[in-house]
């Protein structure tokens, strides 16, 4: 899963070994930047328009001037794939910081944003998609503006690490008695034929796959209810699942060591997985 | 205020122009690190023991293994000053990240922390210390663990920028109706001869100068009450001031465009400023 050799840096392409940053970089000293991870299937982007739009929303929210238009970055990202002759399943990681400048909290003047993007292989998680994964629950300690996809990811890092140390795939986060999302994915509960998830407020990332899940549900005539549930509700759930660009629609079959219903992926989740595969133009690859 | 030429990187000294970081750095991609800013007066550190101890508390809180003992980093920081023949007023900036590794939220294995420290000149803010500064108030949107001096500083950056755009020195942050601290300093209110400030919980940084202010107050027989106040309380305050390693004990004479009492630095603040100057071994330098 190494990084492909050609990297996008600003509007240029460079070799991965030649791209370095000075120690006075606002990403490195303040986490002062934003990012996107876009899924690639067989060398083609999935939901690239949605991701690029969100990048611009994040940039606007923290007032970073991106040095390109939506069309320009989209074109550069496509060039990045062709330059690397990328034809497999993978991701692109795209980041923009407020630039390199002497350390000072307030914005630097006349300092261009630093942008880079790189590609790496990432096979679909077919085994997890088929069998489901386990999760733990954790207190959501993040800041108030989780809708901004920023580089301030320390609480997410700590939650994911706690999950991993527990042998789990993800950490389901709870704030003020309500489940918000996971450390790097949105989360949903199915009960009595309805899908419940936290509303798209400032407390969660507005996932690109989450938007698609809402559409898939509409297409399947499954009510999609933007209403937060609690950790206690999980005990009575018929199904639980998560979604993200790297995890797709992923069944959660166990939370905090307790099985969800029968402890196997549920029917609603599987219908959404099939809708995802159709939407993303995927052949079924589950083992 | 440029960076002195010799920089501490890991346990070595290197030239500032040769220190760069790869794009897969956890500081740059997650803000996954911690830092300290230590005041230097006439080439000597002030409160270095307190800062080094806090660095280790921050590291422990987010489980970063620092590659040195307290004694070792203290010795290296002293070497940094002598190598640069630093004899003026300034600061050292010291940072430790979880290292450089392929991007993944969970901790990388067998990856050493990346540590660097550099020195720069920073004269005392004598004019502001004498005349006081203005502040605005802002909602505290940060995460729950502000006692960790982490690199996740985006909300602090946005608050400081808002203050600066308003022509103010700092932003006083409010959460759940209570003033916590400022974007990069602790804040205090004086009323009827008592000093009030937010208790040293996880909601504020436990400032090294804040600890000293508490001691100065004890020496001056001024009650130091760790009890949060509200923005409404500020309107009736006798004095307001802030403290930090770079701002020392700084009078706030105006908040949101309204004068505090007479709009000049108060007597209690001035007594604390004098105690600070004695403690830091400073000759009075105010203009």
The rounded distance, in Å, linking the Cα atoms of B73 and B52 is 8
Whether the predicted pLDDT of B286 surpasses 90: no
pLDDT in tens, A50-76: 999 999 999 999 999 999 999 999 999
pLDDT in tens, B122-153: 999 999 999 999 999 999 999 999 999 999 99
Q: Which of A149, A160, A178, A259 is catalytic?
A: A149
pLDDT in tens, A156-181: 999 999 999 999 999 999 999 999 99
* Confidence (pLDDT) at A2: 86
For residue A131, which of A251, A245, A235, A241 has the smallest C-alpha distance? Answer: A251
| β-strand partners of A241 | A188, A251
Contact A105 B157 (CB under 8 A): yes
| Separation in Å, CA of A287 to nearest CA in chain B | 25
Residue B170 parent element (H or E): strand B170-175
Q: What is the DSSP letter of B21?
A: E
- Residues B94-104, mean pLDDT to the nearest whole number: 98
- A178 and A202 Cβ atoms separated by less than 8 Å: no
Q: Confirm whether A149 is a catalytic residue.
A: yes
The burial of A265, by beta-carbon neighbours within 10 Å (0-12 exposed, 13-18 middle, 19 or more buried), is given as: buried
Size of interface A-B (CB pairs under 8 A): 163
Whether the predicted pLDDT of B252 surpasses 80: yes
Shortest CA distance from B7: residue in chain A? A23
Whether the predicted pLDDT of A265 surpasses 60: yes
Contact B31 A154 (CB under 8 A): yes
| Separation in Å, CA of A63 to nearest CA in chain B | 9
- What is the overall mean pLDDT for chain A? 97
pLDDT in tens, A182-236: 999 999 999 999 999 999 999 999 999 999 999 999 999 999 999 999 999 999 9
* Confidence (pLDDT) at B111: 97
* Confidence (pLDDT) at A236: 96
| Separation in Å, CA of B233 to nearest CA in chain A | 25
Whether the predicted pLDDT of A287 surpasses 60: no
* Confidence (pLDDT) at B185: 98
Contacts of A103 in chain B (CB under 8 A): 93
- What value of ipTM does the predicted structure carry? 0.96
What's the residue count for chain A? 287
- Residues B73-99, mean pLDDT to the nearest whole number: 98
Contact A20 B19 (CB under 8 A): no
Whether the predicted pLDDT of A29 surpasses 70: yes
pTM for the full model? 0.97
Residue B147: count other Cβ atoms within 10 Å of its Cβ.
17
| Separation in Å, CA of B17 to nearest CA in chain A | 8
* Confidence (pLDDT) at B277: 96
Interface probe with B: pick from A33, A157, A185, most Cβ of B within 10 Å: A157
Interface probe with B: pick from A30, A151, A154, A170, most Cβ of B within 10 Å: A154
Contacts of A22 in chain B (CB under 8 A): 19-21
* Confidence (pLDDT) at B218: 98
Contact B28 A63 (CB under 8 A): no
Contact B102 A1 (CB under 8 A): yes
Structural domains in chain A plus CATH codes? 6-121 (3.30.470.10), 126-279 (3.20.10.10)
DSSP string, A82-138: HHTT--SSEEEEEEEES-B-SS-SSPPSS-PPEEEEEEEE----HHHHHH-EEEEEE
- Residues B32-55, mean pLDDT to the nearest whole number: 98
Contacts of B30 in chain A (CB under 8 A): 31, 151, 153-154, 156-157
Contact B32 A157 (CB under 8 A): yes
Alpha helices in chain B (DSSP H): 26-30, 48-61, 70-83, 126-131, 154-165, 208-219, 231-235, 267-279
Residue B89: count other Cβ atoms within 10 Å of its Cβ.
18
pLDDT in tens, B196-232: 999 999 999 999 999 999 999 999 999 999 999 999 9
Whether the predicted pLDDT of B1 surpasses 90: no
Q: Which of B149, B160, B258, B259 is catalytic?
A: B149
Whether the predicted pLDDT of A286 surpasses 60: no
CA dihedral of residues A17, A19, A20, A26 (deg, nearest 10): -150
- B68 and B76 Cβ atoms separated by less than 8 Å: yes
Interface probe with B: pick from A2, A5, A60, A103, most Cβ of B within 10 Å: A103
- What is the overall mean pLDDT for chain B? 97
pLDDT in tens, A105-150: 999 999 999 999 999 999 999 999 999 999 999 999 999 999 999 9
pLDDT in tens, A71-83: 999 999 999 999 9
């Amino acid at each position: 899963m190494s990084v492909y050799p050609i990297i996008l840096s600003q509007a240029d392409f460079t070799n991965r070994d030649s791209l370095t940053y000075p120690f006075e970089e606002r990403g490195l000293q303040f986490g002062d930047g934003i990012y996107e991870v876009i899924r690639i299937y067989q060398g083609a982007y999935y939901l690239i328009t949605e991701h690029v739009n969100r990048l611009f929303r994040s940039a606007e929210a923290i007032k970073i001037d991106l040095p390109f238009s939506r069309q320009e970055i989209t074109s550069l990202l496509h060039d990045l794939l062709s330059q690397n002759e990328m034809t497999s399943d993978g991701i692109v990681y795209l980041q923009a910081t407020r630039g390199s400048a002497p350390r000072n909290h307030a914005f630097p003047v006349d300092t261009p944003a630093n942008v880079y993007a790189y590609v790496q292989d990432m096979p679909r998680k077919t085994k997890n998609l088929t069998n489901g994964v386990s999760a733990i629950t954790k207190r959501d300690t993040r800041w108030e503006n989780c809708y901004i996809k920023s580089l301030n990811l320390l609480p997410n890092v700590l939650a994911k690490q706690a999950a991993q140390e527990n042998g789990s795939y993800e950490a389901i986060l709870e704030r003020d008695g309500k489940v918000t999302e996971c450390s790097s994915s949105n989360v949903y509960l199915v009960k009595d034929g309805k899908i419940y998830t936290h509303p798209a407020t400032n407390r969660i990332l507005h996932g690109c796959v989450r938007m698609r899940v809402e559409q898939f549900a509409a297409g399947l005539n499954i009510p999609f209810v933007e209403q937060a549930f609690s950790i206690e509700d999980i005990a009575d759930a018929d199904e639980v699942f998560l979604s993200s660009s790297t995890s797709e629609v992923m069944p959660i079959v166990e939370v905090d060591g307790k099985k969800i219903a029968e402890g196997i992926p549920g029917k609603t989740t599987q219908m959404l997985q099939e809708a995802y595969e159709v939407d993303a133009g995927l052949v079924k690859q589950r083992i």
